Structure 1
């Protein structure tokens, strides 16, 4: 049953009538319709959406059951937790476009890692998590246990070790919401993240074995099973924020099941929306339009599909607000 819309949704419906704005409304209505029909939804997170504090709206989407699985980069996995425990130490740079190379070097010397207009503090963020996650990795290895990257983060959050360190309202942490719901997550290319680099350093120092953290191939094997079990009835939708590996990895599971495993009657993704500023004219795989994905066996000819060429930090919270009825 469709819920009554709040003021944010009413404003969107009244004012967003053309171009990317109209597509935003169409995509939001499509997302809602897919869930109301009994479908499930995957959200993929590229870039630095956690540092952009998408958790303020995404956490509530998770709690309200509007997300069934997330595919994200290793950066998004860890940066939400960093924001949770080190927010007061972050440094905002409103004039980031005017920084010189020397300005950037000075930020590095002060152990600030810049993400557009926001600097993540190395000591208060990375190292605060490292001391805890190192013990969790080593404890698992001592018991001959192996887990996925996100499962280690869930263990950290659910252990309560960080509770005294929270610097934002915990309801605004999407990772905490996901951990409490045990939401399925896949993290392709986790090695390309700070925690992945730190883990690799322990492997190089022979303090840990690489096999203690499950691999990307194991994520794909797990995802194949999840997809086959859940892509039934109204199927699974795909809400892609940005491009990159977080989206491409997860989307490939449908054609892999059909083409490589030669399974029959595999339902393709049944809703698709991408928020992007990438264009096809430069050969960007992440920017390919939905029709191109049909040729790869990812979408079907009747999959409701939307491309919103805009800033995900603006668009995603508005679509989430619609789905939540705000």
Structure 2
């Protein structure tokens, strides 16, 4: 398949510095999966609100990603954008906002993520009324599921279709639900839906055990990694920093050191897109080689770091892999 205009532009112009690192990482990703490797993508920050779904959904449909680790915010915000896109408010001059301006946004039920404000009623509450019923029904049936499984149930039920405001092809969660793609959501409790679920627990309307925990996610990931690490193994493509990357990368040293599975392979590819600087113990800004000392990466693991804005870099890397 011949490369399209975006890939050709990248090939011609991205020759040095971070642009060259972008190309090296993209070629490394492509070679890895073409050789039979599987890839985990981790989503930090607010990549769903940045509408990464436009490119990530196609990556999922074309089997260029085997598993995702994401924050609870990224899990839900792709769905929020799906059902409330026209109600979002963009604030291009966000750097000039005063505390009073910010307060006025709050009073008008807008929650700001950089230059984009998420509408509370149309996004949070619209999902809440439907997900609450799914939680209640599961508990009544004595069933327990992971946060992403509840979201799959929500999407697959069709109850949100009446609200769709974007092309469904641009929702990575819809693409993931269609394939029942494995997802790990560490720290789900700090998301909006996690907070809402906690409020029902505090009001004694739901039991905490109705949603499976982070420890259960680690056990789920350990089983998945063990089954999928044979042959070419599993690569690690980290978008941003934080818990979505820190949590899953630890599964390898846990299997090797704590479960004494001494034949478990290291991650077979590593790339991080981050603007976090290497300083003062920042793990998000740590260079890949530091991960060797923790038993996460091998000496020979292909390692890439693109120190730039992930909202710019990730869609370009995905465009290269998709030959766009």
**TM-score of the aligned structures, taking structure 2 as reference length:** 0.99
Show structure 2 runs of 5+ residues with no match. Answer: none
Counterpart secondary structure, 1:280: coil
TM-score under structure 1 length normalisation:
0.99
Distance 1:325 1:256 in 2: 36
1:259 aligns with 2:257: yes
Which of 38, 61, 64 is residue 63 of structure 1 equivalent to?
61
1:11 corresponds to: 9
Q: 1:5: Cα distance to partner?
A: 1.1
Equivalence for 2:285:
287
| Alignment match, 1:24 | 22
Provide the residue aligned with 2:234 in structure 1: 236
Q: Aligned runs of 1:45-56 on 2, under 5 Å?
A: 45-56=43-54
Q: Distance in 1 between matches of 2:3 and 2:232?
A: 24
Matches within 5 A, 1:126-165: 126-165=124-163
Deviation at residue 4 of structure 1 after TM alignment: 2.1
Q: Determine the C-alpha separation between the residues in 2 that align with 1:70 and 1:283.
A: 26
Post-superposition offset of 1:196: 0.2
Name 2:78's counterpart in structure 1.
Answer: 80
Partner of 1:43: 41
Distance 1:36 1:62 in 2: 15
Aligned length: 324
SS of 2:188's partner is: coil
- Residue aligned with 2:318, SS: helix
Q: Is 1:213 matched up with 2:211?
A: yes
- What's the CA shift for 1:264? 1.5
Counterparts of 1:325 and 1:135, CA distance in 2: 42
Distance 2:67 2:140 in 1: 30
| Counterpart-to-counterpart distance in 1, 2:117 and 2:40 | 29
C-alpha RMSD of matched pairs (Å) = 0.5
> CA offset at residue 213 of structure 1?
0.1
Following superposition, the deviation at residue 280 of structure 1 comes to 1.6
Distance 1:7 1:324 in 2: 12
Paired residue for 1:306? 304
> 1:44 Cα shift?
0.1
> Pairwise mapping of residues 116-127 of structure 1 onto structure 2 (< 5 A)?
116-127=114-125
Shift, 1:282, TM fit: 2.8
Cα distance in 1 between the residues matched to 2:2 and 2:220: 37
Instruction: Specify the alignment match of 2:171 in structure 1.
Output: 173
1:292 Cα shift?
0.2
Out of 124-133 and 280-289, give the one that drifted further.
Answer: 280-289
In 2, distance between residues paired with 1:73 and 1:226?
A: 19
Deviation string for 1:178-232 (max 9, x for gaps)?
0011000000000010000000000000100000000000000010010011111
Alpha-carbon separation, structure 1, partners of 2:88 and 2:280: 35
* Partner deviation per Cα, 1:293-314 (whole Å, 9 max, x = no partner): 0000000000001000000000
SS in 2 for 1:291: helix
| Structure 1, unpaired ranges of 5+ | none
Tell me by how many angstroms 1:265 deviates: 1.0
Task: Tell me the CA shift for residue 69 of structure 1.
Answer: 0.1
